[in-house]
Structures are given as C-alpha cells and as structure tokens.
Copies of this chain bind each other. A is one copy, B any other.
Amino acid sequence: MKIYVTGAATTKFGELWAVSPRHLAGEAVQKALADASLDKKHIQALFVGNMLSGMLGGQEHLGAFFAEELGLSAAAFKIEGACASGGLALHNAVNSVLSGQYETVVALGVEKMTDHKPEDVAVALMGAGSDEERQAGATFPGLYAILARAHMKEFGTTEEDLAAVAVKNHFHASLNPNAQFHSSITIEQVMHSSCIADPLKLLDCSPISDGAAAVIITSDKKQATRKNSVQIIASTVATDTLGLAERRSLTGLAATQTAGKKAFRITGITPADIDVAEVHDCFTIAEILAMEDLGFYKKGKAAGAIAKGETRLGTSKNLVVNPSGGLKGCGHPVGATGIKQVAEIVEQLRGRAADRQVKNANIGLTHNVGGSGATAVVHILKK
C-alpha cells in the first residue's frame, strides 16, 4: 500500500495575538482540504500534534476538541512527544492508513505559545526533559549549550559556525511569506546578540511561536492521481534517554541516528539522494548535529560545510536544508513544527515553493526532535 499526501498547508507562524488555537487549526485544515479538493466528510480520523495546551491552557482532549471545531465526523487523537508531537502525530496517521483501518486522515499540528508568560512557557517546555534536569533548573537553551560545547571541544566547531546556521535559515525565512522572521541577518549580528546560555546567543535560538500546519494523507490512488500528490515512503521513530547525563555521547543524538538509518534502510536510498530537507534546528547546534547524525556529513564536517553555503538556497549543489527557514527563521510552535516540515517538503516536491523553490527537488526528508533528543522522527517523501 502506498501513502500519498494530497493536501498540505501551513498558517502564518509568529506572534499571532489576534487568533486562537481553534482559528489556527481551522485555517490549516481548511486550506489543506482545499488543496486536496476534498470535502471534510471524507476525513475518517484526525491526529493532533500538540504539547502545551494542557499545561498552559488547561485544555486536553484536543482530538475530540478539534474534530468538533472542524465539523469532522471522525475518530480523533492527541499525540504528544514534546517538540516531536507533530512528527509523531503524522507517524501514527501513516500507520493508521497502512493498517487499513482508515483510508483518508488528517495530521494536524498546532501550538499557541505567546498567550502565556515566557517564564511559564519555559517551565512548561521543561516537561520534555528529565526530572533531574527540571529539578536542577535546567532550560532547553542550557541543555543545547552543553551539546554545543561538547561539539566545539571535540571537533573545533566555532561560535561563528553556529551563527552561520542562523544566517542561512534567516535568509531562507526571508523568502517564506509564512515565516515568523523576514529579515536576513549577519554573522556579526548573531555574534553580538545577547548571550542566552553560553555559547548560544539569542540569534542561535528558535523563537516562541504560534502556528498550525496540516497534511491530508490517503491510500486512495484515485484521490492521489487527481492531484499533484507526493508519497511518504518512510516514517520512522526512535527514542533515547530524556536527560543528557544518561547519554553515551554528547556530540550526536542517537535517536536521530537510529530513526535516520531505519528510514534509509526501508527505502533503499542514501543521504546523497535527498534533494531537500527540513531538520530540527531548535538551536543552531541542533542543525549541525542533525546533518551529521542523518549521514549527510561525517562527524565534525557539517559545521564547515554549512558555513561554506553547501546547504543554502542558491549556493547548494546537492542538498538544501531548511528552505522554510527552519525552526530558527520560520518559527517553532512546538506541536506544529513536525507537520510544517512535511508541508514544506510537499510544496518543494510539487514545485510550488515560489521564491524558495529548490531546483530538481525529487526526494525530501524531514527530521523532528523532542526534548534534547529523547525522541526523533524521520519522514522521507518523494514525487
């Protein structure tokens, strides 16, 4: 059985004071349905990726909540795995279609973060970490700073190398009308931005964001051939310890390595076959780790390559990474990110990505991480 994406949509990402989660989810799903030329009555199940609605808003039961809001007569689920909630929602959606239990389903990622005090959001996000990390007062910038320091020590990665990731992704975001940030930035601006958790500066960090994204997947060939659909050829998930202290290595994420290898093994393709990727750059170091852990570069080689522009629109020869702007430039409404990544790859493979279109994009990959790497989700899509 083949799994097709027939519709995909992303709302504007950003500080969206005037809209509620209902509006964001509604907009994303309605646009995805319109994109698939599908009436909502054909949707048999809804998979909602969300992390923070319970902790920050007191609203759980989001599956039924959004099914009602969207007027869907469907089975409905909330799937949560911290910042990988969107990717995990899609994974379960894919499996549910492969199972034959449902034919056509929606995976929706949605998060509303800016209605809450930033310190409350920071505390809630630590719900993704280990007990010990939370009790020690760690925050995610601090945890990723530890990963950055380890990488710098082992491979000579520099703060300028980290900054180059942000510069690339802000450039890409400047071409994406849905992105939270539209200004290009320079290495100097990153280097001179406030220190958040040494060596990470403000411009090494993805922002707090609101937004939603939705994709419609089906096993129905008729729907798929009617539209400019793309196939999901791999959907893999792996886990690791929640806390950094329990890991064997701090210079890579084992969950990413496991999920990536499985995805390549299933499909029989190699990293060299990937034309465009959306990877989880919650902090600049995370993109460097992802490029190495997914096998695009050997350990210690990604930072220099990114800084040379090898994964940048316009200067890349093989692979463009985070054409949407990534979490850094496009924004990171946590539960929405994993779905937005897939929506971006779908647009790229369809050749509809306008100013940020990657040339000859035939095969794409998404990579979504929960916490500091306790969960990793990889999807591979092809035209």
Contacts and interface: CB of A to CB of B under 8 A. Distances in A.
A35 interface: no
Contact of A64 (B79, B94, B240): B240
A383 B7 CA distance: 42
A237 B77 CA distance: 9
B77 A88 contact: yes
A180 to B, nearest CB: 23
A123 B101 CA distance: 35
Interface string A74-107: 1111111110000010011011111111000000
A95 B100 CA distance: 8
Contacts of A97: 99
A127 B62 CA distance: 9
The 6 closest A-B pairs by CB, nearest first: A98-B99, A75-B237, A64-B374, A60-B127, A95-B99, A61-B82
A101 to B, nearest CB: 5
A25 to B, nearest CB: 14
A55 interface: yes
A233 interface: no
B131 A75 contact: no
A51 B55 CA distance: 11
> How many copies make up the complex?
2
A43 B242 CA distance: 19
| Residues of A contacting B: mostly | mixed
Interface string A104-145: 000000000000000000011011110100100000000000
Interface in A50-72: 51, 54-55, 58-65, 67-68, 72
A239 B74 contact: yes
B77 A64 contact: no
A99 B266 CA distance: 14
Contact of A78 (B58, B79, B129): B79
Interface in A188-242: 235-242
A72 B241 CA distance: 10
A329 interface: no
A246 interface: yes
A370 interface: yes
Given A77-B88, A95-B96, A61 B242 contact: yes
A204 B60 CA distance: 25
22 contacts: A55-B60, A58-B134, A60-B80, A60-B127, A61-B82, A61-B374, A62-B80, A63-B88, A63-B375, A64-B371, A68-B241, A75-B91, A75-B238, A75-B239, A76-B237, A76-B239, A77-B88, A77-B92, A78-B80, A95-B95, A98-B98, A98-B99
A95 B101 contact: yes
Nearest to A238: B75
A35 B238 CA distance: 26
A236 B96 CA distance: 12
Contacts of A60: 51, 55, 80, 82, 127-128
A202 B60 CA distance: 26
A246 B68 contact: yes
Contacts of A63: 80-81, 88, 239, 375
A370 B97 CA distance: 23
A133 B68 CA distance: 15
Given A60-B127, A61-B129, A77-B79, 9 more contacts: A61-B81, A61-B371, A63-B88, A64-B370, A64-B374, A76-B237, A78-B81, A79-B92, A99-B99
